[in-house]
Amino acid sequence: MKILVYIDNRKNHIKKTDLELVYYAYLIAKKHGGSVDALVLGSGENAGELGKYGADRVYTLSHGEFFDANGISKVVKNFAEEKSADLIIVPFNSSGKPLVGMLAALLNASTVTGVLDVPEMDDGKFVFKKGVFSSKAFAYIKALNNKVVVSLIPNSLSPEEVVSEANVETVSMAVDERVKVVGVDKVEGKVPLPEAERIVSGGRGMKGPENWGVLLDLAKALDAETACSRPVSDVGWRPHTEHVGQTGIVVRPNLYVALGISGAIQHLAGVSSSKVIVVINKDPEAPFFKAADYGVVGDLFDVAPKLTEAINKFKGN
């Protein structure tokens, strides 16, 4: 079996999610047999590192300018055909999501989005696990075609170094563009929330945007990203890019700290897959405590600064 991993490296550094994709492919190849190719879109700086996490061969494709999902899907399709790839793995993020459907159509492949675990094999066909109903249940989906395209949810596994660096080969390929992306405005310097390992999140209990310093201090101490409940972004205390939940971003960090969030079902839908949940709320009856691994009943304006101080002390700051 041949596995192809697509890595969007246009920011020219290999991210943890890229390592997760390659390590996921490695685990599949180890379990079911096969080899792993990685196609890296971008300058390919540090691309050899992907070898440490299981890529047998790494190919980089530099294009120079932005191009859109339509152009990328054709490049990946051509490359997948050239390498006779049976399984193509892309990230479940803004760069991978539009690719899955296009690639499946171009390759006449089965597709499963948002997979979580290394698939089992049934009768020579992959069976993938994915979360459904806002991650309250799991579905097991059998891919019936010979070619399969899947997207992997970030933070589904912890990548480990397994082999040595791979050789990197630069490839060139004509890109058939139907539209041209002439610019992208995006928040720089922040880890996208779906990929964040730690998140500190605030709700209406924060009382107003002027109080966010307490939360930002804790986030800084934990080296965490920041998020919020929907009402907080609806009233403009925080940007909509931080809104998590059923109608916002779905996250699955290793640590989710909730300050002054009640834990409504629509909020939990976006955060309940977090590995460890810490809730600080002054109401002992707040529903979030039922989903929490650790809870502190208390005023967040007392508790959060003490927690920040303790973490900084522990870190020796």
Ligand X SMILES: Cc1cc2nc3c(=O)[nH]c(=O)nc-3n(C[C@H](O)[C@H](O)[C@H](O)COP(=O)(O)OP(=O)(O)OC[C@H]3O[C@@H](n4cnc5c(N)ncnc54)[C@H](O)[C@@H]3O)c2cc1C
Q: Which residues bind ligand X (CB under 6 A)?
A: 203-205, 229-232, 245-248, 260-262, 264, 266-267, 270, 280-283, 286, 299-301
Q: Which is nearer to ligand X, 111 or 229 (CB)?
A: 229
Rounded CA-CA distance 129/112 in Å is: 9
Quote the least distance from Cβ 131 to ligand X, whole Å.
16
Quote the least distance from Cβ 204 to ligand X, whole Å.
3
The torsion angles phi and psi of 124, rounded to 5 degrees, stand at 80, 10
Quote the least distance from Cβ 138 to ligand X, whole Å.
21
Q: Which is nearer to ligand X, 66 or 294 (CB)?
A: 294
Q: Which residues pair with 3 in a beta bridge?
A: 36, 87
Quote the least distance from Cβ 270 to ligand X, whole Å.
6
Rounded CA-CA distance 20/118 in Å is: 12
Quote the least distance from Cβ 263 to ligand X, whole Å.
7
Q: Which is nearer to ligand X, 130 or 267 (CB)?
A: 267
Q: Which is nearer to ligand X, 110 or 233 (CB)?
A: 233
Q: Which is nearer to ligand X, 91 or 203 (CB)?
A: 203
Q: Which is nearer to ligand X, 159 or 263 (CB)?
A: 263
Quote the least distance from Cβ 252 to ligand X, whole Å.
15
Q: Which is nearer to ligand X, 113 or 281 (CB)?
A: 281
The three state secondary structure string of the chain is CEEEEEEEECCCCCCHHHHHHHHHHHHHHHHHCCEEEEEEEECCCCHHHHHHHCCCEEEEECCCCCCCHHHHHHHHHHHHHHCCCCEEEEECCCCCHHHHHHHHHHHCCEEEEEECCCCEEECCEEEEEEEECCCCEEEEEECCCCCEEEEECCCCCCCCCCCCCCCEEEECCCCCCCCCCCCCCCCCCCCCHHHCCEEEEECHHHCCHHHHHHHHHHHHHHCCEEEECHHHHHCCCCCHHHEECCCCECCCCCEEEEECCCCCHHHHHHHCCCCEEEEEECCCCCCHHHHCCEEEECCHHHHHHHHHHHHHHHHCC
Quote the least distance from Cβ 308 to ligand X, whole Å.
15
Quote the least distance from Cβ 177 to ligand X, whole Å.
35
Q: Which is nearer to ligand X, 114 or 248 (CB)?
A: 248
